[in-house]
Structure 1
Amino acid sequence: MTAPAAAPRKPIILTVDDDPAVSRAVARDLRRKYAETYRIVRAENGPDALDTLRELKLRGDTVAVFVADYRMPAMSGIEFLEAAMDLYPMARRVLLTAYADTHAAIDAINVVDLDHYLLKPWDPPEEKLYPVIDALLEAWNADGGHPMPNTKIIGHRYSRRSSEVREFLASNRLPYHWIFADDDEGHRLLEAAGLDDRALPVVITETGEPLVDPSNTELAGRLGLSTEPRADFYDLAVIGGGPGGLAAAVYGASEGLRTVLIEAVATGGQAGQSSRIENYLGFPDGVRGDQLADRARRQAEKFSADLITTREAVALELHGNTRTIRFADGGSLDCRSVVLATGVSYRELDADGCHSRDGDDSSLIGRGVYYGAATYVAAECEDQEVYVVGGANSAGQAAMNLARKAARVHLVVRGPSLEASMSYYLIQQIEATPNIEVHTNTRVCRAFGGEGLENLTLIDGTTNQTTDVGCTQLFIFIGAQPRTDWLPDAIARDDRGFVLSGPDLKPDSGWPLDRPPHHLETSVPGVFVAGDVRAESAKRVAAAVGEGSMAVMFVHRYLAET
């Protein structure tokens, strides 16, 4: 007789509060709503809670959410969460605070990557507790709830393609385990697959299949991302998966349009790489860029929008009222209207070693030099001195994120101060962070090293004096350029390549209709633009979201006319 299979163990919600009455109340409210699916475990101080977590880890249990009180003896809630992250990095984190401790809770956002803070008392829980926990559990489940993913990447620490594969998976929120090819585990896995370290990077899927230097499209297909549209014809095609494109997809699909979103790499765009967006409406404690992108993606899918990745649009053809989008792989689809939300790409630094020129063996991109804050690299900067180039918000957010692990972060700014291009709240945070040093009137003129980045040459813009400094990680944020070279000449652009629309269109732009163009309509009727790629856009997440949703209103007007 076969023994019945053991019931799977429930994931855990762990609460920590030194006040027994409050501790019981928290556990009671959580059990009332979540006991059927989750096990509620409570502790009355931080050290006991950590002992419990170590036992859970040994038994193979998973923890979904931590709920910790801020003021506790021996170990504060922030100190507990910081230690707990080492054991269960995927668990969501909530801090319980009194009104007087709100400022400390906000500070904790940057210390322990806090997901939420709750003011005590939260009565009634139906309004103030459960919606918060529901959202965190949904996000945790979307990530798979697995602290150690089964997908493995074996690569070289100084390989640009290995870096690109890691960044692709991280940007698409596909968990993986990174293994250096020269480590014992790397040797063992390569040998088991019948490969050697000349075949890198190697991705081993959860089924054990080794993929040698796979393309992004192959990775997407094998790891569950959608790469093919489900139809040949759509009412609306959105090109670009940043905040503007995601907003257009959500509003288009929710209002009944057959909608497809086309993204070349990963939804979220540059905003999806932001470590913390703190000035976005409705998120007083800030939101990580990847969290915002993931929620928007799931929202678009809920309304039945098709989201396809690793498909690069290379041509837009105009056939009467039909628009044809052609892809780099030879495929195509037709649609009645288009929203261009392709965003911008990072502008390259004019410095030796920082170019992506083909055949340039001296380029250190992906080998210590990174455009943007590569999501996987930040965790590998512990106790290092790292450099960030740029004076706008993206550079400031990256510096704050890196300062959590790095020994010192050097922010290199060409101008005389940060005030001209960075938000005031970020400047305040940087000034209050002791291990961030700002170098104004300074630029990087050279990056050099052997297998990877080893040194930088800095030049003082006032004295022209140069200085060589040791550096193994350089992150660059020096502005952006639009991705519009592939568009037809009929779509008017400004001198820098940004797309003109609505009242910004010039008399000689070739507008063909008697009516004036709608506000976000380009010089081609039925083709609209939203977000950073639009000329004179605000270059803010909220502005891109607003334009993406507003573009759909004009799409409806256009479709009604045709």
Structure 2
Amino acid sequence: MIPPPLPPHLESRRAQVFPVLDARDRERMQRFGEVRRFRDGECLVAAGQPSPGMLVLARGRVVLSRRDGLGHSVPIVEEGPGQFLGEVAQLSGRPALVDAHAMGEVEVLVIPPHRLRALLVAEADLGERIIRALILRRVGLIETGAGGPVLVGPPECAGSVRLEGFLSRNGHPYLALDPAQGGEAASLLERYSPRAEELPLVVCPDGSVLKNPSESTIARALGLLPEGAFETLYDAVVVGAGPAGLATAVYAGSEGLRVLVLDQRAFGGQAGASSRIENYLGFPTGITGQALTARAYVQAQKFGVEMAIPAEVASLRCEASGMPLTLELTDGRKVRARTVVVASGARYRRPALASLDRFEGRGVFYWASPIEARMCDGEEVVLVGGGNSAGQAAVFLAGHARRVRVLVRGRALAASMSSYLIERMAASPRIELMMETEVVGLEGSDERGLQRVRWRHRPSGREEEHDVRYLFLFIGADPATEWLAGRGVALDAKGFVLTGAELADGRAPFAFETSLPGVFAIGDVRSGSVKRVGAAIGEGTAVVAQLHAYLASAATSESRRSSTREPSEPVRPGEGAWHVANQPLH
């Protein structure tokens, strides 16, 4: 047997990554799939192609290989009877990340995605072992870059940083090659002769090459976005895949509602970029925002929630009371829903600095992930902000940068930052705290990006300028509610969504309901919300009971309207009573 190339920290969990199911386990799985047979050498699964689902081996052996768009194919593991093929992509039917070929005659039980989700729910103990293996396999693929696109370009170029951030935050494997190291990367650049703005080149698993593609373009090329129109009438569409939106998705999906989640960037929101969350209940040693939200992302898919990322909402439309709501996306597609949950959070605030947009992604960043930390290794960086996100980022970057100057406009941190972060910053010899100080100027070039930063001490007016290539901005965020403008959803003076008792519009709305019936708001985007991960998750959970109540009320009203119609009166499209129950509607 070919030993799988597991990363060191997964080696001790080999039995969990590649479990062997006994005869009783396989018997319990029979009702969820169908038996198929393959000849020697036949392909069961092809990288980059939609997978038929999870394949459980009953007879014969299968070899799995990782293949990239450059034509390399490397065997990674051989599996036999009682083992199964698959990772988290099989929960939603997305393209496979590896090739699988039969070694001799092979018989497998094919469990398609919707039946796999049913298996995980119905057979809890067996489902626990399966989903743990699926998650650990995806972790291994991410850490080795297996099955993903190959990014070819200088690691510091804006396009490379942008696409690496998109793929990593969405939990998708990729491999980055620096052409300065020679080899195939240099040969590719010579062959395609891209201009600087066309970097990086992205080699997809099917061998096609994209030049500095947008996030939507690469997502479609990798099969991460659903194609065509959304033809389903969803019980709930959640706009935003941060902690609040993911909490709603998990609980609503687990209670039988048909749910779609839309996000224009990545799951996790701002919390997903947090290097470590230490004050969230149940994690005494802390957990990264990426790890916490990635678990929720997989959990939502387990319950049948559909995900569309990146997908940006342009507007919300309500034709008439009691009729389905319509969300219009920027790509022209439309989504219909009985209820909408606004969990779009907030956008990073941008200071009024000349040339700021010129250096965004080229020295100026609004989050600090391992990708940015790698670039800052041994460098001197400046970080602006006095909240918890700023403190977490400063501590994280101090583990990589030579020095981290933290600039804060206020006179003290106690009102805006948790005490444990203040203490940790004070204990770090690499962090220099500069109070009542603000950035006033940036300098650099189109070729080299940001080169110098100038700041001013506000009380004295004294200015300093230093050679700094990396500036991190954590100065708060503004609500992402422009897509609600003029759509009947009341906002406060700062643009946050008003809900519940704040409305005073003569109705008796639910606590998280907006001025537009059937539209709810939770998390950071809601006026008066507590801007903390735990609070967002709590609101995302609590709103599900209100969705059920609203849908039940709407069904009752529709039933009454139907009973008062004359026998000859036709039912208009989109009308008709429907049943709300804690069972799958899909």
Q: TM-score, normalised by structure 2?
A: 0.70
Seen in structure 2, the aligned counterparts of structure 1 residues 545 and 33 have a Cα distance that, compared at 3 Å, is closer
**Is the 1:158–1:366 Cα contact (8 Å) retained in structure 2?**
no
Instruction: Give the CA deviation at 1:378.
Output: 1.1
Q: SS of the residue aligned with 1:143?
A: helix
Alpha carbons of 1:34 and 1:452: their partners in 2 closer, same or farther (altered >3 Å)? closer
Match of 1:411 in 2: 406
Number of the residue aligned with 1:280: 280
Assess if the C-alpha contact under 8 Å between 2:16 and 2:132 holds in 1.
Answer: no
- Any residues of structure 2 matched to 1:10-409 within 5 Å, and which? 10=4, 139-145=135-141, 147-149=143-145, 151-156=149-154, 159-185=157-183, 186-193=185-192, 195=194, 197=196, 199-228=198-227, 231-320=231-320, 321=322, 322-354=324-356, 356=357, 363-409=358-404
Aligned to 1:145, the other structure's residue is in SS state helix
Change (3 A) 1:549 1:407: same
RMSD of equivalent CA atoms: 2.9
Distance change (3 Å), C-alpha of 1:332 and 1:439: same
Structure 1 contact 193–210 (Cα < 8 Å) conserved: no
Kindly indicate whether the alpha-carbon contact (under 8 Å) linking 1:448 and 1:455 is maintained by their aligned counterparts in 2.
yes
Whether the 8 Å contact between 1:390 and 1:477 is mirrored in structure 2 is yes
Q: Which amino acid aligns with 2:189?
A: L
Deviation at 1:14, TM superposition (A): 6.5
Inter-partner Cα distance in structure 2 for 1:132 and 1:426: 35
Q: Deviations over 1:70-111 (max 9, x none)?
A: xxxxxxxxxxxxxxxxxxxxxxxxxxxxxxxxxxxxxxxxxx
Does the residue aligned with 1:337 lie in a helix, a strand or coil? Answer: strand
TM-superposed deviation, 1:159: 4.2
Give a deviation string over 1:513-551, Cα, whole Å, max 9, x none: xx5010000001110001000011111011111111111
Alignment CA distance shift 1:495-1:213 (3 Å): same
| 8 Å contact kept, 1:521–1:528 | yes
1:128 aligned residue: none
The 3-state SS of whatever aligns with 2:394 is helix
**Counterparts of 1:379 and 1:136 in 2: how far apart (Å)?**
29
Query: SS in structure 2 opposite 1:225?
Result: coil
Given the superposition, is the C-alpha separation of residues 172 and 518 from structure 1 closer, same or farther in structure 2, using an over 3 Å criterion? same
**For residue 539 of structure 1, what is the aligned residue in structure 2?**
531
- One-letter amino acid matched to 2:171: R
Encode CA deviations 1:416-455: one digit per residue, 9 max, x unaligned. Answer: 1211100111111111111111111111111111221111
Amino acid in the other structure paired with 1:550: A
Compared CA separation, residues 377 and 133, structure 1 to 2 (3 A): farther
| Whole-angstrom distance in 1 between the partners of 2:9 and 2:179 | 40
List per-residue Cα deviations over 1:457-512 (Å, max 9, x = no partner).
Answer: 010011011000111111100010011111134100001100000011144xxx6x
Question: Structure 1: how far apart are the matches of 2:466 and 2:270?
Answer: 29
Shift of 1:157: 5.4
The structure-2 alpha-carbon separation of the partners of 1:382 and 1:8, relative to structure 1 and needing over 3 Å to count, comes to: same
Does the aligned pair in 2 maintain the 1:265–1:310 contact within 8 Å? yes
For the structure 1 residues 558 and 136, does the alpha-carbon distance in structure 2 shift closer, same or farther, using more than 3 Å as the test?
closer
User: Hey, what's the Cα distance between the residues in 1 that align with 2:418 and 2:14?
Assistant: 42
Distance in 2 separating the partners of 1:209 and 1:34: 31
Aligned-pair CA distance for 1:351: 2.2
Answer whether contact 2:313 2:329 (CA < 8 A) is retained. yes
User: Separation in 2 of the partners of 1:14 and 1:313?
Assistant: 41
1:548 to 540, 548, 555: 540
- Deviation, structure 1 residue 12: 5.5
Shift of the 402–308 alpha-carbon distance from structure 1 to 2, 3 Å rule, reads same
Distance 2:198 2:248 in 1: 41
CA distance in 1: counterparts of 2:519 and 2:198, whole angstroms: 44
- Measured at CA, do residues 9 and 162 of structure 1 come closer, stay the same or move farther in structure 2, by a change above 3 Å? closer
Q: Is residue 190–residue 197 contact of structure 1 (8 Å, CA) maintained in 2? A: no
Matched residue, 2:467: 470
Distance 1:10 1:201, change over 3 A: closer
**2: distance between equivalents of 1:34 and 1:182?**
36
Matched-pair contact (CA < 8 Å) for 1:165–1:216:
yes
Question: How many Å separate the matches in 2 of 1:132 and 1:299?
Answer: 11
Q: Tell me the CA shift for residue 138 of structure 1.
A: 5.5
Aligned 1:371-520 pairs, distance under 5 A:
371-450=366-445, 451-487=448-484, 488-507=486-505, 515-520=507-512
Given that 1:240 and 1:341 are in contact with CA atoms closer than 8 Å, whether structure 2 keeps it comes out as: yes
Give 1:193 shift.
4.8
CA deviation after TM superposition for structure 1 residue 199, in Å? 3.1
Q: For 1:32 and 1:156, locate their aligned partners in 2 and report how far apart those are by CA, in whole Å.
A: 38
Gaps of 5+ in 1: 1-6, 17-25, 38-58, 63-130, 357-362
Q: Which of 519, 522, 526 is equivalent to 1:527?
A: 519
Closer, same or farther: CA 394–211 of 1 in aligned 2, 3 Å: same
Name the CA shift for 1:137/1:472 in 2 (closer, same or farther; >3 Å): farther
Inter-partner Cα distance in structure 2 for 1:476 and 1:139 = 33
| Residues 235, 60 of structure 1: alpha-carbon distance in 2 compared, 3 angstrom cutoff | closer
Distance 1:414 1:344, change over 3 A: same
* Counterpart secondary structure, 1:377: helix
Give the deviation of 1:221 after TM superposition. Answer: 1.9
Q: Displacement, 1:133?
A: 11
How big is the shift at 1:137?
6.1
Once the 2 structures are TM-superposed, how far is the Cα of residue 195 of structure 1 from its aligned partner? 4.8
Structure 2 runs not aligned, ≥5 long: 21-73, 78-126, 555-586
C-alpha separation between the residues in 1 aligned to 2:425 and 2:548? 44
AA matched with 1:163: V
Q: Per the alignment, do residues 9 and 159 of structure 1 end up closer, same or farther by CA in structure 2, a change over 3 Å counting? A: closer
State the TM-score, normalized to the length of structure 1. Answer: 0.73
CA distance in 2 between partners of 1:342 and 1:467 (Å): 38
Separation in 1, partners of 2:408, 2:129: 41
| Cα displacement (A) at 1:132 | 12
Q: Tell me, what secondary structure is at the counterpart of 1:386?
A: strand
CA distance 1:469–1:196, change in 2 (3 Å): closer
Which residue number in structure 2 is paired with residue 9 of structure 1?
A: 3
Q: Quote the offset at 1:34 in angstroms.
A: 7.8
For the structure 1 residues 290 and 350, does the alpha-carbon distance in structure 2 shift closer, same or farther, using more than 3 Å as the test?
same
